Amino acid sequence: MPSELSAYVSDPTPGRGALRPARSWLHSDAPSLSLNGAWRFRLSPTASVAQDFAAEEFDDHAWESIPVPSHWVLEGDGAHGRPIYTNIQFPFPIDPPHVPDENPTGDYRRHFALPADWSDAERIVLRFDGVESLFRVWVNGVDIGSAGGSRLAHEFDVTRAVRPGDNVVAVRVHQWSAASYVEDQDQWWLPGIFRDVTLTARPLGGIEDVWLRTGFHDGRGRVEAEITAEASAFPVTLRIPELGVEQVWATAADVAPVDAGEVEPWSAERPRLYDATVSTAAESIALRVGFRTVEIRGDRFLVNGRRVVFHGVNRHEAHPVRGRVFDEEHAREDLARMKRFNVNAIRTSHYPPHPRLLDLADELGFWVVLECDLETHGFEKLGWVGNPSDDPAWREAYLDRIRRTVERDKNHPSIVIWSLGNESGTGSNLAAMSAWVHARDAERPVHYEGDYTGEYTDVYSRMYASVPETERIGTDGTDTPLLNCTPAQSTRQRAKPFLLCEYAHAMGNGPGALDQYEALVHEHPRLHGGFVWEWRDHGILATAPDGTAYQAYGGDFGEVVHDGNFVMDGMLLSDDVPTPSLYEFKAVVQPVRFVFDGDKVAVTNLRHSADTSDLRFRWRVEHDGTPVDAGDLEVPVVAAGESGRVSLPPVPVAPEGETWLTIDAVLATAAPWAPQGHVVATVQSDRSPHIPVPAVRHRTGWRPDTGTLTLGAAEFVDGRLVSLAGRAVTGPRLELFRAPTDNDESPSDGVEESDASVPGVSNAELWRRDGLDRLTARRVSVELPHGKADALRTLDKVSAANSALFVMVESVWSLEAGELELRVEIEPSRGWSTVWPRIGIRFDLPDGGAPVDGAEWFGLGPSESYPDSLRAARTGRFSSGIDDLSVDYARPQETGHRSGLRRLTLTSTGAKVFRVEALPDTHGRRPGFTLSRHTPQELARAGHPYELPASTTSRLTIDAAQHGLGSRSCGPDVRPEFALRPEARTIRLRITAG
Ligand code: IPT
């Protein structure tokens, strides 16, 4: 590569010619022209292509057309290279600041007509809101400048280059550049002009920039304005019509704080905005201001004087078709969905989103941690040697990034914390960024997780701390120093508010323990909650060889290095489908909590500042899941932080069966993000009288026997079940295996808290070593009772090839009061040393004309649930088709377990096939069930849903127990109390036909 070019591509300092300082993304009435749309495009494999294309007269008619904004790798059906997914790894040699000669380079051209009435503009400015990663601009062949900083805005003065009538703009974009070293976020590498391109006419006497800091003190609003404009632009007028504010500043020196009088404050819960304008004779800027004051007092993070608890998510910009290209309608719907699931905060991981997103956050109401576009994670494997964060050669690049970040979005009330970036080690350049923020915006605290010891940040932050570690952070007087801290540094960090900038890794089926983290927040006020990793999967819509559409992840595009499905770790699937974890999150963080006390219930409002006047309370009573009574519960308005006790209605109790009282807090009127009646919080109370469980009938006098036998709905041949309710059945067989979840498959050693895990070896690997996925059985005996043939007893020894470990399985089929009962005793041998995924029995139900394709049950539902993720599950009656019982995780894995089963009816095209009643064991524990088209072994073998074999056999698994989910794919394993250790278990079922 010619050295001049190489010097350009590998220059850490951020381009040249772009306007500085950066400024706000403003809604101005100055004329502007969107240059979004079709551009001419040519892709070259290297950066060293002739630059003649920049000339005005260059003939581009043979070039193809590409939409702007877009990523070129997602356009043209694979003709423009393909997306690359890496987490920490750099997809090119670590040779900073150099990048490979193979550097895909996109050349873009388009014409535009300069509006005739722009001739009196003072300046014409060309703005790029996002280009990945380094680009250079020419207008009419005139070299304008260059810029790096992919998710940041760059503006250029093109006044001298444009002319009335037709103009040509040419842009060259390199996929790799020095900037790539500081943009190593865990996401797809997606080059191109992926945000808006806009030309604006800056009027003479216009407003360059404005910053309205709108504080809230003692019920009054206060506006501190910073106006950037030429002296000749004055007077400048601030208007907030609704508040009667009309303030004219004759000169820049006159600009002074304005008392806006009594106002309603802005909060994430009541996002009250006031329309404001700031105008000169030549230009008017429209803003929507929210009054709020951010403050740290001791170890509390306060807004408007009240502690904030973040029930947040990490939000990347990801879409299966558009990649990081913003779509306002989709973004709004996504944010509304967050609100419906009780999400109140967003960390913009790990870069500023499209600027419009912050307007939506202001409007819908979120606490936002706005993060700079910065990550150098790939240097970790070098022990951070050469890390740009501590290299003065990169200082200006870091400062440029944070300036562009803060300046662009500074007006938003939703932004309450600035974050310097993510996973960039530590060093003086980060400290310099923080110093710059402190000097520029003294009001909003600075966050950066990598500052473990708290040298330059205002809040203490960690990611993936375990529950006990988080508790230690919230507690004083423990001897254990905090991570990477001396005792003195620990004391410094404990003096600050704490948040988990990432926790509860939501990859695949999981996470568990959300409720344990939540409980800590209410016990230790220093803990301010956190941000689940992450909101959504980043799948890219692709087509399998057989034509099936699927969500692609790392490796699906033939990448040389990649990180597989680690990019699929959201609570939302790529196609916007909420996973059970999102329901769990919603239930765990619900802002209203209930505690029952006899015929009273205490209703506690855990919100930041909003009272409950927007809610209505409804109750209902169900007998064995069937509604018998319902009504409204009169709850007086409860202020934030307060509780109210109210009397419950008389609850009709069923003489037999279960009685459950459910209370829902619902929206009294529609909100911008949910309809009237939307359920915000739910609680259930078990009002059942004691229900005796029929005792196991003790039988003696068994004798070896085989032959054909019918017991109720079951038929046996040689002691083997062959049919149930007239349908062929195979099994039941012992099932100890589940298709490993991403957490089960993780070898990560973040396991200090669990007694069962082996650091560096995944649980799934241990299960495979023990052969749990390939158990075989040997029938030891088949017996019938002496006399009446009303029972059958079998004994099996279950074990795996080349293993001496075994499990004895004793099954007793009998008729009890005319009903068929199956009691299975599962008895492990000595020597099993790992956790087990499940202890269950599996029935395979072949098609038989019409497959078993649905379930109706009374138990926990409607979604799947596991021991450490049970809070969203409620007791009731539910029904579902077989396909909707499983979640389409991007990599097939364990799914569909429904806990707390009482009764289950399997159906086939709507007709009842047979009914299973699950009796609790002597400890009162109930089994769960899974109905699936696939065996765990089949699921475990498939990398994507389309790889699953076609199946007409339905598999019913009844589990005495399941292992928890945990968060080990990036974080702690299943907590010991939810880990399933090998143990003796009993399953008791009553089975009836139809
Ligand atoms: C953490 C990253 O900050 C985040 O971007 C994502 O990669 C997440 O992990 C895992 O999905 S860093 C990790 C080393 C804790």
- CB-based contact 914:842 (threshold 8 Å): no
Which ligand 1 atom is nearest residue 463's CA?
15
Q: What is the average per-residue pLDDT within 70-93?
A: 96
SS3 assignment for 572-609: ECCCCCECHHHHHHHHHCCCEEEEEECCEEEEEECCCC
**CA 522 to CA 309: how far, in whole Å?**
9
> Residue 620 burial by CB count (10 A; 0-12/13-18/19+): exposed, middle or buried?
middle
- Residue 381 belongs to what H/E stretch? none
Pairing relationship of beta strands 27-28 and 284-289 according to DSSP bridges = antiparallel
Q: Are 129 and 18 in contact (CB under 8 A)?
A: no
DSSP code at position 243: G
pLDDT digits (tens, 9 = 90+) for 134-168: 999 999 999 999 999 999 999 999 999 999 999 99
Q: Model confidence over 397-434: pLDDT tens digits?
A: 999 999 999 999 999 999 999 999 999 999 999 999 99
Q: How far is CA 885 from CA 348, 540, 955, in A?
A: 33, 24, 12
Q: Per-residue pLDDT tens for 749-765?
A: 755 555 567 888 999 99
Q: Is 122 noted as a catalytic residue in this protein?
A: no
Tell me the per-residue pLDDT of 658-679, one tens digit each, with 9 for 90 and over: 999 999 999 999 999 999 999 9
Is there an atom of ligand 1 within 6 Å of 664 CB? no
| pLDDT tens readout for residues 543-571 | 999 999 999 999 999 999 999 999 999 99
Burial class (CB in 10 A: 0-12, 13-18, 19+), 297: exposed
Three-state SS at 62: coil
Q: Could you give the CA distance from residue 250 to residue 135 in angstroms, rounded to a whole number?
A: 41
Homologous superfamily of 590-686: Immunoglobulins (2.60.40.10)
| Residue owning the nearest CA to atom 13 of ligand 1 | 970
Q: What's the rounded Cα separation, in Å, for the pair 964 and 975?
A: 8
Ligand 1 pocket member 970 (CB < 6 A)? yes
CA dist., res. 67 & res. 321, Å (int):
13
Given this model, what pLDDT does residue 314 score?
98
Q: Is 396 a catalytic residue?
A: no
Which atom in ligand 1 lies closest to the alpha carbon of residue 87?
Answer: 7
Testing ligand 1's pocket by substitution, the residue of 85, 87, 188, 461 carrying the most ligand atoms inside 8 A of its CB is 87
CA angle 770, 886, 741 (to 5 degrees): 35
Bridge-based pairing state of the strands 197-202 and 708-711? unpaired
Is the Cβ atom of 464 under 6 angstroms away from ligand 1? Answer: yes
Percent of the chain with pLDDT over 90: 94
Six-digit token string for 632: 């409204």
Higher pLDDT, 198 or 692: 198
pLDDT (tens digit per residue) in 189-232:
999 999 999 999 999 999 999 999 999 999 999 999 999 999 99
Q: Is domain 207-282 annotated with CATH 2.60.40.10?
A: yes
Name the residue of 466, 502, 568 to mutate for ligand 1: max ligand atoms within 8 A of Cβ.
502
Pairing of strands 527-532, 498-503: parallel
Distance in Å, CA 186 to ligand 1 centroid: 7
Average pLDDT in the 42-61 region? Answer: 96
Query: What is the pLDDT, as a whole number, of residue 266?
Result: 98
Give per-residue pLDDT as tens, 323-344: 999 999 999 999 999 999 999 9
Per-residue confidence band for 823, with pLDDT thresholds at 50, 70 and 90: very high
Which H helix or E strand runs over 683? Answer: strand 679-686
- Tell me, using a 6 A CB cutoff, whether residue 448 lines ligand 1: no
Cα 113 to chain centroid distance, Å, stands at 43
Written out in words, the top-level CATH class of the domain with range 296-536+571-581 is alpha beta
Q: Taking the domains of the chain in order of start, what are their residue ranges?
A: 4-202, 207-282, 296-536+571-581, 590-686, 706-993
90 alpha carbon – ligand 1 mean position (Å): 15
Give, using CA atoms, the residue closest to atom 9 of ligand 1.
970
DSSP one-letter code for 453: T
**What is the position in ligand 1's atom list of the atom closest to the CA of 567?**
11
Beta bridge partners of 303: 294, 306
What pLDDT does residue 756 have?
A: 62
What pLDDT score does 748 carry? 86
CA of 464, closest atom in ligand 1: 15
Determine the Cα–Cα distance for residues 692 and 903; give it in Å rounded to an integer.
16
Does 807 contact ligand 1 (Cβ within 6 A)? no
Q: How far is the centre of ligand 1, averaged over its atoms, from the C-alpha of 942 (Å)?
A: 25
What number does the ligand 1 atom closest to the CA of 380 have? 14
Q: Give 4-202's CATH code, choosing from 3.40.50.150, 2.60.120.260, 2.20.28.10, 3.30.530.20.
A: 2.60.120.260
State which fold the 706-993 domain adopts: Beta-galactosidase; Chain A, domain 5 (2.70.98)
pLDDT value of residue 750: 58
- Contact between 966 and 510 under an 8 Å Cβ cutoff? The reply is yes
Kindly give, in sequence order, each residue whose CB lies less than 8 Å from that of residue 794, ignoring residues fewer than 6 positions away. 719, 779, 781, 782, 783, 810, 811
Determine the 3-state secondary structure of 893 from DSSP: coil
Edge-to-edge strands, sheet with 209-217: 209-217, 220-228, 258-262
Task: Examine domains 207-282 and 706-993 and report if their fold is the same.
Answer: no
Give the pLDDT confidence score for residue 753 in this predicted structure.
Answer: 54
- Averaged over 901-905, what is the pLDDT? 98
CA distance 149 to 128: 11
Tell me how far the alpha carbon of residue 359 lies from the centroid of ligand 1, in angstroms.
27
Question: How far apart are the CA of 125 and the centre of ligand 1, in A?
Answer: 38
Mean pLDDT for 720-727 is: 95
Using the Cα atoms of residue 832, residue 837, residue 843 and residue 847 in order, give the sign of their dihedral. Answer: negative
Q: How far is CA 214 from CA 273, 359, 695, in A?
A: 11, 16, 69
Transcribe 292-357 into DSSP letters: --EEEETTEEEETTEE--EEEEE-----TTTTT---HHHHHHHHHHHHHTT--EEE-TTS---HHH
Which pLDDT score is estimated for 789? 86
Ligand 1 centroid to residue 302 C-alpha, Å: 27
Query: Residue 819's CB: how many other CB atoms inside 10 A?
Result: 14
| 87 ligand 1 Cβ < 6 A | yes
Report residue 228 as tokens.
């950037």
Task: Indicate whether 44 pLDDT > 90.
Answer: yes
Give one word for 526, left, alpha or beta, with left for phi > 0 and alpha for psi -120 to 50.
alpha
Contacts of 11 (CB under 8 A, 6+ apart): 97, 178
Q: How far is Cα 628 from Cα 659, in angstroms, rounded to an integer?
A: 10
**Among protein residues, the one whose CA lies closest to atom 10 of ligand 1:** 970
pLDDT tier for residue 106 given thresholds of 50, 70 and 90: very high
What pLDDT band is residue 608 in, cutting at 50, 70 and 90?
very high
507 Cα nearest atom in ligand 1: 11
Rounded to the nearest integer, the mean pLDDT of the chain is 96
CA–chain centroid gap for 20, Å, is 35
Structure-token match 């069923």, residue found: 654
Predicted pLDDT at 14: 78
Give me the catalytic one of 423, 622, 658, 735.
423
Cβ distance 257 to 247 under 8 Å? no
Pair 255, 249: CB distance under 8 Å: yes
300 C-alpha to ligand 1 centroid (Å): 26
How would residue 691 be classed by pLDDT, with cut points 50, 70 and 90? confident
**533 Cβ below 6 A of ligand 1:** yes
Q: Is 432 helix (H, G, I), strand (E, B) or coil?
A: helix
Of 866, 9, 147, which Cα lies nearest the Cα of 513? 866
Confidence of residue 470 (pLDDT cuts 50, 70, 90): very high
